[in-house]
């Protein structure tokens, strides 16, 4: 039970707001020292820690993290989102719910361009929320659309969480096969997760749009049609010009990965260079911009890798206390076999999403439960996408969803916190429905990766 007590202590300390990396490492080392002193922990296990840290430092897959962060922050500064929103709003603004469609579509494009939830929600909140309120849109619905669209960066590649999940799932998959006596294990890559997330991500966008369309007819007062504006003859040409840069960048990054021309790390470098080119074309690339981009990239990257190191210490101590055996015994004894185990893990992650960040769940929970579930014959790509959608839901779940905090920080006093909470509830339900659809039809996540691997 010591391992489970340590896990609960970590959660309680994190809820106080103490830094994640120091919490994971500090609590784990304290339990290791206490266990060594009391004779209940083998201190020689800690000899593996330097090699683990060195493995993180030399992991080529994780180099994609700072590159994708650099690309996302650069695009945020290049004001592509502002141009997109303005053009799409003029194109669909006269339709009932048209502005809502525009926000979802732009959110999808930004997600596929940047992969950073915080930047997308803040940008969309600053640019679109005042316009939606001015045109008579319901404040709660407007908030829900912005928050849900902003979190698409969790599931639509290139996504930072998919890069991190790809590395963690690869290790878990190999561990599961080694535990089964398979000493030439198969691998699962970040490219597989990118391909697996593409169809579910687009399907989720389609459900968002379908919900907005249905609501526009059922409750037209929530999304009133604006007065028909005179359509400029060159509006479609402007739309193409606005859409071309992000779509070209998406094709360059994702297309090269899915086609097998480049690894995610190589494609991320292409995206970073492409973002610089777009910033230069928009005349936003200067010394101040570069300074901001590089400082933001360093801050986010340092946070991710510090958490990764802290999670490695936690995982080592957790296993030293036999925590993995306890979790394995619990999951394998649940009724329903693999289905019951997966349902329990999904519920646990959903509940942890109320209090923990997606990075913490990825680095702490997935390494513990991943090998156990994969040893039951679960497809690693499907499991990875299920986890990604579940973690995306945690961004929207009141009262601690991070997307809600991001929007609350930039929203005007015209929108109350309770209205933001009310607005995201339907989208949380849509996320859960999407989880059910993916559970019923795993082919949504596995079809494209299988086709890619067969072609290779």
155/413: higher pLDDT: 155
Q: For residues 334 and 336, what is the distance between their CA atoms, to the nearest angstrom?
A: 6
pLDDT-based confidence at residue 228 (cuts at 50, 70, 90): low
pLDDT computed for residue 114 by the predictor: 62
Q: Of 32-41, 106-115, 239-248, which has the strongest mean pLDDT?
A: 32-41
Quick check: 314 pLDDT over 60? yes
235/299: higher pLDDT: 299
pLDDT computed for residue 456 by the predictor: 62
pLDDT-based confidence at residue 426 (cuts at 50, 70, 90): very high
CA-to-CA separations, 138 to 129, 134, 403, in angstroms, rounded: 10, 10, 19
Quick check: 230 pLDDT over 70? no
pLDDT-based confidence at residue 200 (cuts at 50, 70, 90): very high
The percentage of residues in the chain with a pLDDT greater than 90, rounded to a whole number, is: 12
Q: For residues 95 and 231, what is the distance between their CA atoms, to the nearest angstrom?
A: 13
Q: For residues 253 and 309, what is the distance between their CA atoms, to the nearest angstrom?
A: 28
| pLDDT tens-place string over residues 25-35 | 899 999 999 88
| pLDDT tens-place string over residues 361-416 | 888 888 888 888 888 888 999 999 999 999 888 878 876 677 887 788 777 677 88
110: nearest Cα among 209, 201, 226: 201
Quick check: 102 pLDDT over 80? yes
Task: Indicate the pTM of the whole model.
Answer: 0.82
The percentage of residues in the chain with a pLDDT greater than 70, rounded to a whole number, is: 94
């Amino acid at each position: 039970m010591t391992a489970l007590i340590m896990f609960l202590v970590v959660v309680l300390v994190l809820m106080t707001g103490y830094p994640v990396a120091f919490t994971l490492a500090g609590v784990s080392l304290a339990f290791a020292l206490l266990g060594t002193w009391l004779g209940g922990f083998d201190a020689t296990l800690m000899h593996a820690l330097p090699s683990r840290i060195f493995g993180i430092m030399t992991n080529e897959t994780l180099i994609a993290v700072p590159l994708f962060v650099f690309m996302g922050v650069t695009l945020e500064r290049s004001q592509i989102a502002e141009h997109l929103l303005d053009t799409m709003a003029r194109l669909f603004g006269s339709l009932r719910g048209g502005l809502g469609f525009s926000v979802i579509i732009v959110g999808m494009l930004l997600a596929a361009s940047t992969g950073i939830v915080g930047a997308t929600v803040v940008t969309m909140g600053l640019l679109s929320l005042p316009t939606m309120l001015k045109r008579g849109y319901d404040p709660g619905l407007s908030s829900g659309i912005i928050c849900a669209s902003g979190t698409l960066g969790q599931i639509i590649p290139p996504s930072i969480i998919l890069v991190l999940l790809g590395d963690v799932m690869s290790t878990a998959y190999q561990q599961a096969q080694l535990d089964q006596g398979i000493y030439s294990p198969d691998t699962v890559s970040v490219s597989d997760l990118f391909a697996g997330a593409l169809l579910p991500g687009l399907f989720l966008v389609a459900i968002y749009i379908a919900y907005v369309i249905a609501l526009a007819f059922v409750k037209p007062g929530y999304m009133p049609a604006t007065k028909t504006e005179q359509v400029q003859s060159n509006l479609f040409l402007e739309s193409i010009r606005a859409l071309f840069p992000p779509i070209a960048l998406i094709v360059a990054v994702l297309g090269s990965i899915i086609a097998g021309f480049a690894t995610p790390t190589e494609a991320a470098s292409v995206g970073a260079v492409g973002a610089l080119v777009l910033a230069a074309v928009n005349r936003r690339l200067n010394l101040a911009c570069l300074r901001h981009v590089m400082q933001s990239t360093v801050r986010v990257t340092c946070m991710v890798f510090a958490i990764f190191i802290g999670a490695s210490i936690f995982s080592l101590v957790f296993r030293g206390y036999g925590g993995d055996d306890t979790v394995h015994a619990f999951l394998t004894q649940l009724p329903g076999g693999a289905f019951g185990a997966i349902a329990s893990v999904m519920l646990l992650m959903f509940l942890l999403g109320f209090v923990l960040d997606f990075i913490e769940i990825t680095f702490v929970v997935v390494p513990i439960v991943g090998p156990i579930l994969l040893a039951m014959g679960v497809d690693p790509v499907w499991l990875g996408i299920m986890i990604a959608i579940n973690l995306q839901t945690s961004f929207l779940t009141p009262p601690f969803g991070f997307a809600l905090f991001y929007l609350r920080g930039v929203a005007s006093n015209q929108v109350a916190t309770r209205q933001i909470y009310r607005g995201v509830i339907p989208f949380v339900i849509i996320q859960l429905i999407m989880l059910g659809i993916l559970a019923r039809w795993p082919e949504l996540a596995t079809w494209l990766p299988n086709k890619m691997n067969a072609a290779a």
